[in-house]
């Protein structure tokens, strides 16, 4: 059974610019930084003595250490208190290990260092280690139960994705149902993927039908469900929609597969062959064309 990529629901975007204040970490003012939202560091946050040295992404679970050149670092440290200098030295020591990718050493020696947990989580996501990412997310949630660092919506967004990636579709649904009334296409899409993963085609199609502006992947899921239901008529309609969005070999063969008569099957097979340079694809479609041409020839003699 084919599984589709996760479509994340979109948070409300803010536009900010970063201003560095040596004693108070990150200050945020209105402007823009690469369309990302930077969350304001506050001294009341858990692990604030370490987080002040990081940029906090307000839309996903991500921290970025504020690397500086030697001159900038000297000026920065000069304005820190004695305690802050100790915190900075400690943080930088661990961060250097993280930058080397020494995750085993970091997690063994500093298992509760929050910035390390967040960066390890991000490392797991980048490497598609979704089971380990989910375990790490549980630790991140336990370390910030009141959502002072990352919002509940941000955490739930990541959780829904992780549950789908780990095929824990029922748990993912429990997350997405919290936002079902938001009229958000990405929520409906994710819920459809969950129901599809559970084998509940009726509900999967229901939520796909609620999407106002279907993405290509949504239409692919519609096609796949109808194929698996053996509903060839509706699968053909979905294949035509896909081909209108993306004219290529795969979609032309989807139309060919679901066409109701041999003339159309032959027409789309020829069209598909003209769109590919892949030898395996060409060999496959040539066999289909040969069989259809032979069938047509036999029928012409019989009539």
245-274 pLDDT tens trace: 999 999 999 999 999 999 999 999 999 999
Phi, psi of 246 (to 5 degrees): -150, 100
Query: Could you tell me if 279 and 133 lie in one domain?
Result: no
Q: At what angle do helices 114-126 and 82-99 cross, to 10 degrees?
A: 20
Query: Could you tell me if 108 and 205 lie in one domain?
Result: no
Round the average pLDDT of the chain to a whole number and report it.
Answer: 88
Query: Could you tell me if 81 and 194 lie in one domain?
Result: no
Q: What pLDDT is stored for residue 303 in this prediction?
A: 59
Return the bridge partners of 27, or none: 19
Query: 3-state SS string over 115-177?
Result: HHHHHHHHHHHHCCCHHHHHHHHHHHHHHCCCCCCCCHHHHHHHHHHHHHHCCCHHHHHHHHH
Burial class (CB in 10 A: 0-12, 13-18, 19+), 236: buried
Query: Could you tell me if 207 and 236 lie in one domain?
Result: no
Q: Which of 118, 143, 166 is the last residue of a domain?
A: 166
Query: Could you tell me if 106 and 21 lie in one domain?
Result: yes
Query: Could you tell me if 122 and 194 lie in one domain?
Result: no
Query: Could you tell me if 112 and 193 lie in one domain?
Result: no
Q: What pLDDT is stored for residue 115 in this prediction?
A: 98
Query: Could you tell me if 130 and 276 lie in one domain?
Result: no
194-219 pLDDT tens trace: 999 999 999 999 999 999 999 999 99
Domain total of the chain: 3
User: Does the pLDDT at position 116 exceed 60?
Assistant: yes
Cβ atoms of 105 and 97 closer than 8 Å: yes
Q: Which of 198, 223, 248 is the last residue of a domain?
A: 223
Q: Which of 223, 253, 269 is the last residue of a domain?
A: 223
User: Does the pLDDT at position 9 exceed 60?
Assistant: no
Query: Could you tell me if 6 and 111 lie in one domain?
Result: yes
Domain that holds residue 94: 1-166
Three-class SS of residue 56?
strand
Query: Could you tell me if 129 and 235 lie in one domain?
Result: no
DSSP string spanning 16-48? Answer: EEEEEETTTEEEEEES-STTPPEEPP-TTSTTH
Query: Could you tell me if 149 and 196 lie in one domain?
Result: no
User: Does the pLDDT at position 292 exceed 60?
Assistant: yes
Q: What pLDDT is stored for residue 26 in this prediction?
A: 28
pTM for the model stands at: 0.81
Q: What pLDDT is stored for residue 217 in this prediction?
A: 97
Query: Could you tell me if 14 and 162 lie in one domain?
Result: yes
């Amino acid at each position: 059974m084919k599984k589709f990529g996760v479509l994340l629901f979109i948070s409300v975007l803010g536009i900010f610019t970063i201003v560095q204040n040596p004693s108070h970490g990150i200050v945020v003012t209105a402007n823009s930084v690469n369309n990302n939202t930077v969350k304001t560091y506050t001294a009341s946050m858990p692990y604030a003595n370490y987080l002040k040295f990081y940029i906090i992404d307000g839309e996903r679970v991500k921290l970025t250490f504020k690397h500086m050149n030697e001159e900038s670092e000297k000026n920065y440290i000069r304005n820190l208190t004695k305690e802050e200098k100790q915190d900075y030295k400690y943080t930088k020591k661990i961060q250097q290990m993280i930058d080397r990718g020494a995750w085993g050493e970091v997690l063994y020696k500093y298992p509760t260092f929050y910035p390390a947990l967040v960066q390890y989580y991000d490392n797991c996501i980048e490497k598609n280690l979704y089971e380990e990412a989910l375990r790490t997310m549980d630790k991140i949630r336990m370390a910030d139960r009141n959502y002072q660092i990352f919002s509940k919506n941000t955490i739930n967004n990541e959780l829904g994705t992780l549950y789908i990636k780990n095929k824990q579709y029922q748990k993912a649904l429990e997350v997405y149902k919290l936002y079902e009334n938001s009229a958000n296409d990405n929520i409906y899409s994710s819920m459809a993927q969950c129901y599809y993963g559970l084998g509940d085609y009726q509900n999967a199609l229901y939520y796909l039908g609620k999407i106002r502006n279907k993405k290509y992947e949504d239409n692919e899921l519609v096609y796949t469900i109808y194929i698996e239901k053996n509903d060839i008529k509706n699968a053909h309609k979905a294949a035509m929609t896909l081909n209108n969005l993306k004219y290529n070999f795969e979609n032309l063969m989807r139309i060919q597969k679901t066409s109701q008569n041999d003339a159309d099957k032959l027409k789309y097979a020829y069209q598909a062959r003209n769109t590919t340079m892949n030898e395996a694809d060409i060999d496959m479609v040539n066999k289909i064309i040969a069989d259809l041409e032979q069938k047509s020839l036999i029928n012409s003699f019989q009539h």
